[in-house]
Amino acid sequence: METLEVKEWMEFMLETIFDIKNNKKKAKEDTLQHTCIKKWLQKLRVESILIRGLKWSKLLDPEKKGQWWLSGEMMSSTTNNNNNNNNNNIVSVTKKINKESLEAQKMRQLAAGQGMNTDTRRAIFYIITNADDYIDAFEKLLRLDLQGKQDREIMRVVLECGLQEKVFNKYYCVLASKLCVHDKNHKFTLQYCIWDQYTELESMEEMRSTHLVKFVAEMVSSFTHTLAVLKKADLHDTTKLGTRKIEHFKKFFETVFVYADNLVWNTFKRIGGSPQYESVRSGIEFFIERYVIGNEKQHIGKYKIAKKALKSVEEDEDPFL
């Protein structure tokens, strides 16, 4: 290469490019430039040089067919790699499918165990239990676009899931509140669902009863529902107050009395003064005085606030503001 003048090298390259462009090759003996280049390449022992695994000898092999730019070793290696990659992809996809199938099977079993025995309930159950958060669940539930009575299944499933958790989870309360604010029909449905639960208190498991206490307490303290939800509890009727029922509502009022004074005031005030809540108010006062206060004086202060709030009217100012 040292003996090759720059001008001659450029002329050779331009001539070669021109021939390639015109798709032709001159039938003549090698030029001086060509001869010099060949000698230079031989000095560099290019036959042993690999370009990305490709030998010059195989690149220039006129008998090479197919992917002429790949050496035999590379083709073999690439083929093996492709096969290995394909196999790995298949195994990966298979594992994913098997995993998803296993998860789906577990979800079906869990849904069946929680009484989700219809397609609608199962769909709602899957959304609620697999959502990223309550907003994600809320939006996906709306997209179900359930019609007629099917829409009522949403709140039934939400409450049932909340009551069957091993540890009480406020996620279901927040989701229920979001649904109630969005559509009053959900609020009515939740009220009837709670009333249905009240009819089963005497035979209800303790954990489920405790979760129901906390759930309803969250609903009234968040102002999603009022204490009017206790209407079907018949707290003033001693003939309907069995041991477990008494214990249940005792826990309920004790839970509410843990709240701050102003929250207790506003919770009880919401059913204060109105004639339509007269029986509910009398039942609450009777039950608290007999079963919650009794000989225990720790809740007297909160009950005084609650009792005053029950007798208040809408115009009365909040004394804790």
Mean pLDDT of 159-165: 92
Query: Residue 104 belongs to what H/E stretch?
Result: helix 72-113
pLDDT of residue 297: 78
Rounded Cα distance between 313 and 321, Å, is 16
**Highest-confidence range of 26-40, 55-69, 155-169, by mean pLDDT?**
155-169
Side-chain-facing half-sphere of 289: CA atoms under 13 Å = 9
**How distant is the alpha carbon of residue 133 from its chain centre?**
5
pLDDT band at 175 (very low <50, low <70, confident <90, very high): very high
300 φ, ψ (degrees, to nearest 5): -60, -45
Mean pLDDT of 271-276: 88
Which sequence spans correspond to the domains of the chain? 6-61, 100-224, 226-321
User: To which residue do tokens 């214990």 refer?
Assistant: 247
pLDDT of residue 24: 67
| pLDDT tens-digit series, residues 192-239 | 999 999 999 999 999 999 999 999 999 999 999 999 999 999 998 989
| pLDDT tens-digit series, residues 10-32 | 677 777 777 776 766 655 555 55
301 φ, ψ (degrees, to nearest 5): -60, -45
Q: Are 56 and 47 in contact (CB under 8 A)?
A: yes
**Highest-confidence range of 18-27, 61-70, 140-149, by mean pLDDT?**
140-149
pLDDT band at 1 (very low <50, low <70, confident <90, very high): very low
pLDDT greater than 60 at residue 68 = no
Residue 118: helix, strand or coil by DSSP? coil
pLDDT of residue 89: 45
